[in-house]
A and B are shown apart, each in its own frame.
Chain A
Amino acid sequence: MNVEQVLFYLFAVGAIAGCSGVVLSRNPINSAVSLVAAFFFLAGNYVLLHANFMAIVQILVYAGAIMVLFLFVLMLLNQRDEELGPRTFSIAPLLGIFAAAVVSVTIGAGFMSYRNATANFPGEVPLSFGTAEQIGRSLMTTHLLPFELVSLLLLVGIVSAVVVAKRRL
């Protein structure tokens, strides 16, 4: 095993453990913190895939901005323990296992049917691949329309968040 593989397995196990922590932990604050950890491990995987800019954006936007928003709302609402729900047995975990089986088999079969999924990655990566320069150039030329639509979407998001959360305008 070379360094890349060791790092991949480290990041993969970390991401899976973090996401499992989100689902398994009872307190939403613990869920949020383990989700932050999972995002960091995913960013490590992006670096392994030569997507350096996306790795930085993942940490800044996801682990930074979005999760801070989640934690802020969690602490604003400040649910007490009895509000976290009863500890009674329900059918939900069984349903969850069934859903897990169905979803994983479906996605796995779909991915495996991709014709050359087991082929190695191309060995030589251009030095500019995945850098901020390449992404920015692409956003301003080929992908200009999606970029502008995203900015419009974020504007709508800002306005509607204010409108929804405010008691009265």
Chain B
Amino acid sequence: MSLTLEHYLLLSAALFTIGAVGLVTRRNVIVLFMCVEIMLNAANLALIAFSRFHLMADGQMFAFCVMAVAAAEAGIGLAIMVNIFRHKKSLLVDDLNVFKN
């Protein structure tokens, strides 16, 4: 029994699940961002596995674009976080309730 597409897809699903769970359970905004990165990487792994399966490089193009989007997202998101910390002195999602009431 050799490696199949299934192995990589199951690994991708497991990583995505870990990221989703972290997104629900953690409170720190920066850790939430890291969980989003985990989920993006899980999607990348599935894309690259399919690319290998069909021997077409298009899947790797998708993964490449996902990486660029993740880089832009991290840059802007962390800038926003620095601003939030400057105003609220906290990075916990519980404290970020300006829109409440």
Interface residues of B (CB under 8 A from A): 2-22, 24-28, 30-31, 33-35, 37-38, 41, 44-46, 48-49, 51-53, 55, 57-58, 60-61, 63-65, 67-76, 78-83, 85, 90-92, 94
| Residue of B whose beta carbon sits closest to that of A93 | B25
CA distance A42 to B82 in the complex (A): 29
A62 surroundings in chain B (CB, below 8 A): 37, 41, 67, 70
Task: Assess whether A104 is in contact with B33, with CB atoms less than 8 Å apart.
Answer: no
Task: Assess whether B9 is in contact with A104, with CB atoms less than 8 Å apart.
Answer: no
Query: Could you say which interface size class chain A belongs to?
Result: 35 or more
Whole-angstrom distance from the CB of A51 to the nearest CB of chain B? 5
Task: Assess whether A15 is in contact with B22, with CB atoms less than 8 Å apart.
Answer: no
CA distance A12 to B11 in the complex (A): 7
| Residue of B whose beta carbon sits closest to that of A39 | B41
| Residue of A whose beta carbon sits closest to that of B25 | A96
Task: Assess whether B55 is in contact with A107, with CB atoms less than 8 Å apart.
Answer: no
CA distance A108 to B85 in the complex (A): 38
Whole-angstrom distance from the CB of B4 to the nearest CB of chain A? 5
| Residue of B whose beta carbon sits closest to that of A95 | B24
Task: Assess whether B14 is in contact with A104, with CB atoms less than 8 Å apart.
Answer: yes
B75 surroundings in chain A (CB, below 8 A): 69, 157-158, 161
B83 surroundings in chain A (CB, below 8 A): 164-165
Task: Assess whether A117 is in contact with B3, with CB atoms less than 8 Å apart.
Answer: no
Task: Assess whether B35 is in contact with A108, with CB atoms less than 8 Å apart.
Answer: no
- Answer whether A96 and B21 are a contact pair too, CB < 8 Å, given A19-B38, A51-B60: yes
- Answer whether A164 and B25 are a contact pair too, CB < 8 Å, given A28-B30, A111-B9: no
